[in-house]
Chains A and B, each alone.
Chain A
């Protein structure tokens, strides 16, 4: 039974219909139509070419790498790649738009229909796994940025972002809950990061979404009037904007009003959306084919190169982890959700297999457990991403090998790992220097056990009269006496013999 998201209004239950237009900044050294750098965080107007500033007589020339990345992205969502596409001008005046038009693709986009598979998690359980259809991906220029806080009466313009390549990824209105929208964006971001076509960094604005929301009564088919909430820049805000906007629309309709088709803005501080402009004063963008650019025609060699350069994608990787490596679906999900994690895990697998002279399948489970519990726990505590983990995959593999060959017990391994996190040293060196090696020396263990039994004669008697639970007490005492270094299996064996003896 899957969980279905509905909103209860005063007059009945409502369904929410959501479509997303995600703007993803293409990862490339240079802008879409100029050679200027795309580096984030540069001084204002440091990355501006004559073309980006729309100086007289300047002309756009398409950047092959940007087109390539958009094509690879299309392939990653199993979309149609259009061999013939064209750039159009979207005309409007604004101070952050030097040309007075944005070069985009309205009539003939580069990428056609594709799909993104999602497995949403609703508040009270798993939602319906579904495929969200992507209508199109087109490439277009980003605008510059206005800075209103530099001067009391003037605005400043920073054109660093002007002309940077964006992919606009337009979904069909296939989502029915904030959770589905969240799952869609997360999945899309994962795919983009796997492909390497966008860093997916929503805080730096390299990914942002326009959220189209409408509501209808449960059981009806006709779409309601939609609003578009612009430039929402986190998954959480997208979900909050949908929730708020849906409730607002329901209230409007139930009060006898009509939802106005308009553009809205999300205020993350208050968690509400606000009207920006209505359809009446919407721009007439006067789209027409850009006469400075020839149609974009892709040859088969280019297409083939794009396809061959695609990495294994998250869904395929997850299936392989379950089928070939024997991981649990949960572990496979967690390890493939982000490309950095998957890369780290696969490096660990290679090193662990080498260190233990065993096939990857043989070491995968232990490696997955260690990453998902120990490593993630530590990173969480340290507030670090896996990309800047203080422990390298090679060091992790060395630690796993020491556990596998019995040098370290589980609890000793945890101790060693803590030291690794602190010092960055290799586990073998830590074991050596601190004498953390596990001991299976039965003589020493027997000697300690004898002392403990002598000191706790009453408990020995109780145990022997049938109170087996005391066995754990003796294990604990023995381990403590051995400084935690005794091999637990040996302790168990010797202890059992001594007590039962």
Chain B
């Protein structure tokens, strides 16, 4: 087997191949290390850690010899740079954390490494996970491996905020990567790059050691090339963590073993309110095809109503910035990270200089929005009201799930756009999250699976939303689509 084909393998194939002795973990790691080094034009990795990947591979090969293989032995992963990694610089793609090297390992990465996975490096992202195109990183845009079929070669957005993760998985630099999703940051980039990604139920994956954006929404999840790989990775990531007070104290189901694309007896809800104005016909057509796939898998398609959908985006853009404005107060130049201390500056002036220099424009914008909505005199009109609407949105889903088992929607209202196309208009950018935000507000499991290409040859994704704790139902419906969509397109290597 050649090195090149090793990078084409997914997580299950690598795991099974290492176990069967078809190749060594070392060979797999070396192939991926080389692919990462060869793809710097994508700017997907902020830090490359080939030694870590190789060391984990050698450990996996030794474990195989000793008969002690672990669930992810031999699988090299990319880690979104929002996860704190002991001894490896972690910046959240922000200048304010440049040079910050944690002395601790996030629960999620610790679990992945304990399961035998290796780390190829830290992946680029939107600064503090705030963005939908990976253009807010302090360390440069990630460039999607995909290009439009118009011959124009415009560099495309990989989606965001997990843009480094989506680009790296799509470009075959790693078979899987961690992502985090606050309002769609796993699902939208997955859709933009033709890969799969799942945001589990809020509380499934520990937030300990994950740099916070909006605590009540942030949830980690896997991004990989197919549904099975997502299930495998999620099993290793999920689980109760006493260090996170919002962690779910539930056993981790055997999602991979229970995967089934047979949806007989299942009802799939299609919400009328997701048919938004100006949605491209291609997206509408993709959605109808999705219904066909699921019907073909045995499911019944039922119309459902989520009446407060239109209020989800404004609600999200109150709650998430409010929490962020407080969560990001700790970056003050006192204890770690950037300190900008102009001559003769007092404490307040040091804060102002440090935070102005260290935070990017989008982060500053959200801190200001969040500070505003929490201010005396505005709190009730914005924050309190947003919390009430959030409860109504959750109730919408609860009612809809009385009539269906999962909900099918497009993941994003369009295919990927070119870098720079939407940066001038924050509102247009925020609209990208219109389909992903409601399930985030309700804390529900939701995933994006690749389901087709648009007229430009760019990937499009379908989203499955499930009941709380029903990742299995989401994965199974995703698998049913995957089995029928026959999505085999991949970006042509230009880098």
* A interface residues with partner B (beta carbon < 8 Å): 50, 53-62, 89, 91, 93-95, 98-101, 155, 157, 284, 286-288, 291-294
Contact = CB atoms under 8 A, between A and B. Distances in A.
B156 interface: no
A56 B84 CA distance: 8
B245 A286 contact: no
20 contacts: A54-B335, A56-B102, A56-B212, A56-B330, A57-B106, A57-B208, A57-B210, A60-B245, A61-B242, A62-B245, A91-B329, A93-B329, A93-B348, A93-B351, A157-B334, A286-B325, A286-B379, A288-B326, A288-B379, A294-B246
A100 B332 contact: yes
Contacts of A50: 103-104
Interface string B91-102: 010000100101
B341 to A, nearest CB: 10
B374 A288 contact: yes
Contacts of A55: 102, 104, 335-336
A59 B375 contact: no
Given A56-B102, A59-B207, A100 B336 contact: no
Contact of B244 (A59, A94, A284): A59
B222 interface: no
A4 to B, nearest CB: 39
A95 B209 CA distance: 23
Interface string B205-222: 001111110111000000
Interface in B57-98: 83-84, 90, 92, 97
Interface in B330-347: 330, 332, 334-336, 347
B39 to A, nearest CB: 27
Contacts of A93: 329, 332, 348, 351
Q: In which size bucket is the chain B interface? A: 35 or more
Contacts of B214: 291
A56 B92 CA distance: 10
B243 interface: yes
Contacts of B102: 55-57
Q: Which of B106, B242, B374 has the most CB of A within 10 A?
A: B374
Contacts of A155: 347
A56 B97 contact: yes
Nearest to B83: A57
Nearest to A93: B351
A100 B324 CA distance: 12
Interface string B236-267: 00000011111000000000000000000000
B74 to A, nearest CB: 28
A89 B326 contact: yes
Contacts of B207: 57, 59
B129 to A, nearest CB: 12
Contacts of A284: 375-376
A314 to B, nearest CB: 36
A61 B329 contact: no
Contacts of A99: 329-330
Contacts of B181: none
B383 interface: yes
Contacts of A61: 242-245
Given A50-B104, A93-B348, A59 B374 contact: no
B322 interface: yes
Given A57-B210, A59-B244, A95 B326 contact: no
Given A91-B329, A286-B375, A294-B246, A56 B100 contact: yes
Contacts of A293: 245-246
Contacts of B226: none
A57 B212 contact: yes
Contact of B347 (A95, A100, A287): A95
Nearest to A60: B245
A442 to B, nearest CB: 79
Given A93-B348, A101-B326, A286-B374, A56 B90 contact: yes
Contacts of A286: 325-326, 371, 374-376, 379
Contacts of B351: 93
B291 interface: no
B323 A291 contact: yes
A287 B242 CA distance: 26
A58 B244 CA distance: 9
A59 B243 contact: yes
A378 B455 CA distance: 97
Contacts of A60: 245
Given A50-B104, A98-B335, A286-B371, A57 B211 contact: yes
B70 to A, nearest CB: 25
B327 to A, nearest CB: 8
Contact of B383 (A53, A58, A288): A288
Q: Which of A60, A94, A101, A286 has the most CB of B within 10 A?
A: A286
A99 B326 CA distance: 8
Nearest to B97: A56
Interface string B349-375: 001000000000000000000010011
Contacts of A292: 212, 215, 245-246
Contacts of A287: 374, 379
Contacts of B329: 91, 93, 99-101
A48 B301 CA distance: 56
B246 A58 contact: no
Contacts of A91: 325-326, 329, 374
A140 to B, nearest CB: 15
Given A57-B209, A89-B326, A100-B330, 12 more contacts: A58-B208, A59-B243, A91-B325, A91-B374, A93-B329, A95-B347, A99-B330, A100-B326, A100-B332, A155-B347, A287-B379, A292-B245
Contacts of B323: 288, 291
A95 B83 CA distance: 26
B383 to A, nearest CB: 6
Contacts of B245: 59-62, 292-294
Contacts of A62: 245
A293 B243 CA distance: 11
Contacts of B246: 291-294
B92 A291 contact: no
Contacts of A100: 326, 328-330, 332
A61 to B, nearest CB: 5
A57 B379 CA distance: 26
- By Cβ-Cβ distance, the 6 closest A-B pairs, closest first, are A100-B329, A286-B374, A291-B216, A291-B215, A54-B330, A57-B209
